[in-house]
Chains A and B, each alone.
Chain A
Amino acid sequence: MHVILSIYGNSKLILRKVIDTLKPNSHKFYSIDEELEKLNISDLADFCVLHRVPVNLMLSNEIPELVEVEESPDFDMYRMVVQYTSAELNKGSVIYETPPNLNQNKNRGNFLSFSNKICLTDNVKNNLVFINYSTNRDFNSTANVKLAIYNSHGLTLTTESFKVKPFSFTAFNVNALKLKTKEQFLTFTAAADGLSLIPLSVSLCNSNGGVSIEHSHPPQAYIMAPWLVTANIKKAAVKILS
């Protein structure tokens, strides 16, 4: 399996490169920092994607413009482990899926995320991370996200708006809001119309360098119903929350 690194800067593809060929029954971490240093583009790069391409679809190390397959491969899940390391060498990791048709069509789809993964203490920096990616190389949509944060009584503590550029991400620092609350755990909703985003929550603990990272499930993971019913519930919610 070829391991390919796509490197983006300012929403543009800078470089796409085969960095390894992984043998069967092998699991390995690749250091993105080291790869960028080797290529001397650490200053330009702000977003990277790692791809796994079976060798039978790409016979040499030359990356084709397009690989056509007769039938869409029937994978159960499209998942990869991502790990972040703090200065103290503590590590936090997560596994999540990037759907194969993510943001394929312009102005289609919508985004709704909700979770409780905000823990307000003096020692912890809470980042809500939103990734704007597409499997369509011509994708160029910026996401307009509306974020609301609630206390345990359901009161809205703040609403914020921000953008997420294509082939990029926004890390929203919750602590910077200096919310006036004595509660430790808060919840949020985030919504955007016209495209999908990948939501992650990253917590960094200043006192021990601990890293926590977890993804959030999309609304469809909460609803067992015919697809159209689920899509309509989500669409109506996004209209109000975005």
Chain B
Amino acid sequence: MLKFIYIKIPLPTSLRYWISRKIPDHLKREKHLKKFGVINDLYFWRTDNEIETIAPIQNFYSPLFPKVNTKTKGHVWIWDNQGKLLDDHDFLLSHMGCYELNINKFTPKDSIGTFMWHISIPDSVANIPEVENEKIYFTDRGYICFLKNGVQPIFMHGIDRFSTFQKQSLTDFDLFYKRDNNKTWIAEFPLNKSSEIKIDIILINRSMKSRNFTLDVFKNGNIKLFSKDFMAPSKAVVIFTLTENDLSILENDSGYFSISGIPTPWGRPAIMRHFKNGAISAMHC
């Protein structure tokens, strides 16, 4: 009844919040999130611009459950940007361990694509009664590294959710989001004419359909400077580059950008900045 009132009747925010707290957590979830399991993100890789993509995959169960031995196994999938599987393999993780996945070993040079990993719930964790009783889903918020010229590392974490693995399944998964959205994300990051030679705006399409996106670049004050449309196949990454010339249109002012057409709620863009002396930096927006 509370769930019906919560969903169907427009209520003041404070009352909605009160009702929300009274509804058990798992009842608010979608059907595929009512057992226990793991949620993972889809990440992008790139081997262009003298960049290596490395995922030091950390056994995140260990710091959460340091009292038990959390040794477990995992699996990796690496796709090219047309959705073709380039490699998949198992790996083992010891308690507090880490598996170093160097994507460049499995992918062509000067290319881009996506990858995912999954760490199966260790037996010792799956046997903790709360995990099944409270229908816990662990969400791997992994960090990946882009290594420039073999010397400069930059790190960035996953930003959305892509797949759901039920219970201790190692390789069977379905999509986390059951329907596509059409979201717009205004990045907080200020655009300036600065010391970088280019800024890559990077977007992953986490849906199962091709998607058209629109990039809008604004000068402060909501003054639109230009728009670009681009397409990403399903499960692919798209990189749109703002050049020094594009940024010079801002003159001495600041601006910002937005992306529309995003199919998943948190599928916001990342940026990678390339500087004159070869250094790079990256951040999620």
A interface residues, how many (CB within 8 angstroms): 71
> 1/0 per residue A170-197: CB within 8 Å of B?
0000000000000111110100000000
Q: Does A71 sit at the interface, judged by CB under 8 A? A: yes
The contact of B151 among A26, A208, A222, by CB within 8 Å, is A208
Does residue A46 face the partner (Cβ distance < 8 Å to B)? Answer: no
Nearest CB of A to B14, in Å: 7
A39 → B minimal CB distance (Å): 23
Annotate A195-213 by CB proximity to B: 1 below 8 A, 0 otherwise. Answer: 0000001010101111111
Residues of B in contact with A, size category: 35 or more
5 A–B contacts from the bound complex (CB under 8 Å): A27-B220, A27-B254, A91-B275, A116-B142, A225-B137
Which residues in chain A, 204-242, are within 8 Å of chain B measured between CB atoms?
205, 207-217, 219, 221-226, 229, 233-234, 236-237, 240-241
Alpha-carbon separation in the docked complex, A81 to B284 (Å): 10
Minimum CB–CB distance for B97 against chain A, Å: 4
When distances are taken between beta carbons in the complex, the residues of chain B under 8 Å from A216 are 143, 157
> A219 — which chain B residues lie within 8 A by C-beta?
63-64
Partner of A81 from the list B63, B151, B156, B188 (CB cut-off 8 Å) is B188
Chain B residues closer than 8 Å to A28, beta-carbon distance? 190, 220, 254
Footprint of B on A, CB under 8 Å? 23-29, 71, 74, 79-81, 86, 88-95, 112, 114-117, 119, 121, 123-124, 150-156, 183-187, 189, 201, 203, 205, 207-217, 219, 221-226, 229, 233-234, 236-237, 240-241
**Given that A205-B279, A226-B134 are known contacts, is A114 also in contact with B60, CB under 8 Å in the complex?**
yes
Total of A-B residue pairs, C-beta within 8 Å: 216
* Residues on B facing A (Cβ under 8 Å): 13-14, 24-25, 33, 39, 54, 56-60, 62-67, 94-100, 130, 134-143, 145, 147-149, 151-157, 188-192, 194-196, 218, 220-222, 254-256, 273, 275, 277-285
Complex formed: what's the CA distance from A223 to B100 in Å?
Answer: 24
